Chains A and B, each alone.
Chain A
Amino acid sequence: MENIKLSFEKDSAIALKNIKLQRALNKAIDQFRNVRWRAVREFQDWEQLRVSARRIKEWTIDHLDGYLEMLEANVINAGGNVHWASDANEACEIILDIAQKHKVKSVVKSKSMATEEIELNHSFEGAGIKVVETDLGEYIIQLANERPSHIIAPAIHKTKDDISKLFVEKLNTPYFNEPEDLTKIAREKLRNEFLNADMGVSGVNFSVAETGTIVIVENEGNARLTTTVPRIHVALMGIEKVIPRFEDLPIFLNILIRSATGQKMSTYVSLITGPKRNSDLDGPEEFHLVIMDNGRSKILSNEETRESLYCIRCGACLYICPVYKKVGGHSYGWVYQGPIGAIITPQLLGIDKASDLPFASSLCGACKDVCPVKINIPRVLLELRARVINDKRVGARFLLRIAVKLWRFTMENTSFYNLALRLSYILQKPWIRHGRLVSLPFPFSRWTKKRDFPAISKIPFRKQWKEIKDLEF
């Protein structure tokens, strides 16, 4: 993880040229937006729900140490084990250690961003332990040896043809092109993995301090199998996942599920408290909860960015983001994508490793409006941008300052502003293609390398406005 250096600029340029990806993204995102919109509209007190969720999150993070201790005590009380991991390495070590102590040969995993974050699969493979992703999307991604491109729908960038070919190549199946058949193949293959696995690793959507319960939300049933069939269940959670009370759960289930998939309720919600009891007929004999920091306490210590920890990973900001819609998940280079990726990745990995990301936004604010816990993502982005600039070389900072000064002078002087506009109107001519400015010379090339800009109009807006105003009102 140490030597990661992400390049949003380079990766997004590649994504923009990938027509297949553009088509897949358009289709998926339009569909998601509609369904989610309906699920939210249907709920009478959606605004009230957001406010409550936000308040509970604020309260919990402000008292996080106490709630984590309470959670720990209650998990132990229910017969489970609790481990604490300061960083990704320690989390991997802890989980590997549990596996090795029990001579585990094969592991099944249900979808979990936290385990992606610590690259747990590498650790298992390095130790000669087989590990299989069981969420259908994740399974496809694992076969293709890629990274998920969306936190809720990991294989959103793949077509069924891609997947059919992948199955032919990796699983030696005949070529089927129907989702129905492909799903059936995966079911059969994965059933065997479940029956043979000694250990199941899951994530955690929420954990309840008051009862020591972990909550897992899913549609496929693979998380239920992961947490029921193998002898040992290990769950990994970031420190921010805890909520105080059992009774807070309906609030969080509602905002998470409606925002994430537009369902009223997901197919399965499991509330797991400890391992199987002695008299239970099935379920894991051992339950381990790993509570991981990995940079989160640093986020918490800065009041400007603390709210990044309120995120419940619903993915709504991804669907709504115009930048994500164009560049897709892989451009963000790491496990978290879209607006939430743009704020969380630089904070978890270090700002120097992902300095492009805070700029991967037009600051339109759609993410803030959609976020069920009301995270002010644009504000956090600005804060992070300021940090990037402050880290830059003196020369660059100097140039930036001059540019801003010039901008300000122009904006404050009407006659100079008008002059500048007229001048630009004349000078722009050689670069206009279909009414847009493309490939301008330096320094404007910094802008047009990635995107175009509408050509400056002959009649200034002020004049146009006068006419429009008279017409309409």
Chain B
Amino acid sequence: MISNSREDILKRIRIGLHRLAIVRGGNEYISKASSSYKETQQKLEIIRRNMIEKKSFLLDMFMNEVTKVNGNVFIVKSEDEIKHYVTRLVEEHDAKSLAIWESGFLKQINLREFLEIKGLGFVSPYSKEQMAEADIGITEGDFCIAETGTIVLITNERQPRSISLIPPVHIAIVKSDEIIENSKDLFFLLANTVGESGSLKNLTSCITFITGPSRTGDIELSITLGVHGPKELHIIIYDS
């Protein structure tokens, strides 16, 4: 079956717009809207400076918003405290089997090895059947949005998506200098940081925004947590 639908649809649109040929509004609009290289760099600079200078303000706002959407937040000052807090959560949930990202910071603090010594098992996201058995998933936030209490996770070969999705409990470790004020600044940053994983020039297969645990209001509008995704979200903020 050979279908001409592509051409048909484009032609119908063109005729509907009273045009004879395609007008690539696309690029024109894009370049008109984006500013010059220098302006972009300046704007990036401002956003980055804000992240540092307004850190404690953003931190408060972020924690406040996470709590509002039924997430748990916890500030820690050292790597040991991270391990301590994770251990506490593991014990509270009587967890046997975990899944964890092999990402930069988590590797650096050897969280997996630490937990393995404690006798915990790890499953691989390669197998969805195994993942379905995991009690807790541990990830690392790439960015946070203060205004909405959101963590942003960028999928790549070390950061699979199902670890923040399938286990009933999700622990995300974030750093306090990754908090951005609002989504507008975040998208600007993502769109203009060349070469970094997740940026526009190098978009990975998925970027996920997570704001609180999975929820539904589909039965008489009463909010129920954990309908499909994790029922609990714990965010550990590392503020060194």
B218, A135: Cβ atoms under 8 Å? yes
Known contacts A28-B221, A211-B203, A267-B214: A250-B13 contact under CB 8 Å: no
A63, B220: Cβ atoms under 8 Å? no
Across-interface contacts of B213 in A (CB, < 8 A): 267
B13, A64: Cβ atoms under 8 Å? yes
Across-interface contacts of A140 in B (CB, < 8 A): 218-219
User: Is there a chain A Cβ closer than 8 Å to B37's Cβ?
Assistant: no
Sample of 11 A–B contacts (CB below 8 Å): A65-B10, A67-B25, A68-B10, A135-B218, A136-B227, A140-B218, A155-B218, A160-B219, A245-B29, A281-B124, A283-B155
B162, A282: Cβ atoms under 8 Å? yes
Interface residues on B, range: 35 or more
In this complex, what residue of B is CB-closest to A140? B218
User: Is there a chain A Cβ closer than 8 Å to B186's Cβ?
Assistant: yes
Across-interface contacts of A276 in B (CB, < 8 A): 205
User: Is there a chain B Cβ closer than 8 Å to A274's Cβ?
Assistant: yes
The distance in angstroms between the C-alpha atoms of A86 and B229, with both chains bound, is 35
Interface residues on A, range: 35 or more
Most chain-B CB neighbours within 10 Å: which of A65, A85, A90, A195? Answer: A65
Across-interface contacts of B157 in A (CB, < 8 A): 277, 279-281
User: Is there a chain B Cβ closer than 8 Å to A21's Cβ?
Assistant: no
Across-interface contacts of A298 in B (CB, < 8 A): 12, 16
Please give me the 3 A-B residue pairs with the lowest Cβ-Cβ distance, nearest first: A63-B25, A221-B229, A301-B16
A267, B13: Cβ atoms under 8 Å? no
Stretch of B1-9, B48-56, B87-95, B113-121 that contacts chain A:
B1-9
B211, A265: Cβ atoms under 8 Å? yes
* Contact residue among A86, A220, A254, A272 (Cβ-Cβ distance under 8 Å from B9): A86
User: Is there a chain B Cβ closer than 8 Å to A76's Cβ?
Assistant: no
B10, A219: Cβ atoms under 8 Å? no
Rounded to whole Å, the gap between the CB of B196 and the closest CB of chain A is: 14
User: Is there a chain B Cβ closer than 8 Å to A239's Cβ?
Assistant: yes
User: Is there a chain B Cβ closer than 8 Å to A78's Cβ?
Assistant: yes
Known contacts A244-B30, A281-B157, A283-B155: A225-B23 contact under CB 8 Å: no
Most chain-B CB neighbours within 10 Å: which of A78, A269, A275? Answer: A269
A254, B218: Cβ atoms under 8 Å? no
User: Is there a chain B Cβ closer than 8 Å to A342's Cβ?
Assistant: no
* Contact residue among B10, B209, B224 (Cβ-Cβ distance under 8 Å from A265): B209
The distance in angstroms between the C-alpha atoms of A459 and B214, with both chains bound, is 59
Across-interface contacts of A239 in B (CB, < 8 A): 9, 13
Contacting A at CB under 8 A, from B69-119, are 69
B165, A225: Cβ atoms under 8 Å? yes
The distance in angstroms between the C-alpha atoms of A140 and B14, with both chains bound, is 42
A246, B205: Cβ atoms under 8 Å? no
What are the interface flags for B1-40 relative to A under an 8 Å C-beta threshold, 1 for contact and 0 otherwise? 0010110111011111100001111100110011000000
Across-interface contacts of A67 in B (CB, < 8 A): 25-26
User: Is there a chain B Cβ closer than 8 Å to A300's Cβ?
Assistant: yes
Rounded to whole Å, the gap between the CB of B235 and the closest CB of chain A is: 14
The distance in angstroms between the C-alpha atoms of A158 and B157, with both chains bound, is 43
User: Is there a chain A Cβ closer than 8 Å to B41's Cβ?
Assistant: no
Rounded to whole Å, the gap between the CB of A398 and the closest CB of chain B is: 34
Across-interface contacts of B188 in A (CB, < 8 A): 247
User: Is there a chain A Cβ closer than 8 Å to B67's Cβ?
Assistant: no
The distance in angstroms between the C-alpha atoms of A153 and B218, with both chains bound, is 6
